[in-house]
Amino acid sequence: MSVAAIVLVVSLIVFMAIGIPITFSLGMSSLLAIILSKPLSITLIVTKIFAGADSFPILAVIYFMIAGELMLQGGLTKRLVALFRKLLGWIPGSMVVISFITCAFFGAISGSALATTAAIGNVMYPEMTKDDDYPVPFAASIQAVGGTLGTMIPPSLPLILFGCLSGTSVSSLFIATIIPGLLMTVIYMVTGLVIAHRNGYGRSDQKGTAENRSFLTVFREAIWALLSPLLILGGIYGGIFTATEAAIVACIYSLFVGVFIYRELDLKSAYRAILDAAKSSASVMFLCCCATLFGYCMTVLGLPQLVTQAMTSVIHSPVIFLLGANIIYILCGMFVDATTAILLVCPLLYPAASAFGIDLVQFGVITGINLSMGIVTPPFGGCMFVATGLDRRIKLEDLYKGVLPFCLTGLLGILAVTYIQPLSMFLVSIMK
Q: Is 194 part of any domain?
A: yes
Which residues have a Cβ under 8 Å from the Cβ of 257 and sit 6 or more positions away? 74, 76, 224, 225, 228
Find how far residue 56's CA is from the centre of its chain: 20
Q: What is the DSSP letter of 37?
A: -
- DSSP codes joined into one string, 276-311: HHHHHHHHHHHHHHHHHHHHHHHHHTTHHHHHHHHH
What's the pLDDT score for residue 399? 86
Q: How far apart are CA 34 and CA 41, in angstroms?
A: 6
Q: Is 46 part of any domain?
A: no
What's the pLDDT score for residue 235? 83
Q: Is 426 part of any domain?
A: yes
What's the pLDDT score for residue 408? 93
What's the pLDDT score for residue 59? 74
Question: Three-class SS string for 160-198?
Answer: HHHHHHHCCCHHHHHHHCHHHHHHHHHHHHHHHHHHHHH
What's the pLDDT score for residue 210? 45
Q: Is 18 part of any domain?
A: no
Q: Is 370 part of any domain?
A: yes
32 near 217, Cβ under 8 Å?
no
List the one residue out of 205, 227, 216 whose CA is nearest residue 99.
205
| Tens digits of pLDDT across the chain (432 residues) | 678 888 888 998 898 888 888 788 888 998 898 888 877 777 777 777 777 677 666 677 778 778 777 877 777 777 877 888 888 777 777 889 888 998 888 888 777 787 788 878 877 888 788 766 788 889 999 999 998 998 888 888 888 889 888 888 888 999 999 999 999 999 999 999 999 888 888 766 555 444 567 778 888 888 888 888 888 878 877 778 877 788 888 888 888 888 888 888 888 888 887 887 777 777 777 877 887 788 888 878 877 777 777 777 788 889 999 998 998 888 888 777 787 788 778 888 888 899 889 999 999 999 999 998 888 887 777 788 888 877 778 887 888 888 999 999 999 999 999 999 999 999 888 876
330 near 377, Cβ under 8 Å?
yes
What's the pLDDT score for residue 203? 67
Q: Is 47 part of any domain?
A: no
421 near 362, Cβ under 8 Å?
yes
∠ Cα 195 197 201 (to 5°): 90
Work out how many domains the chain is built from and give that number: 1
The amino acid at 313: S
Which residues have a Cβ under 8 Å from the Cβ of 102 and sit 6 or more positions away? 77, 80, 81, 84, 120, 123, 124, 146
Residue 46 burial by Cβ neighbours in a 10 Å radius (0-12, 13-18, 19+): exposed
Q: Is 324 part of any domain?
A: yes
What's the pLDDT score for residue 142? 92
Q: Which domain holds residue 375?
A: 55-431
What's the pLDDT score for residue 432? 65
The model's pTM is 0.79
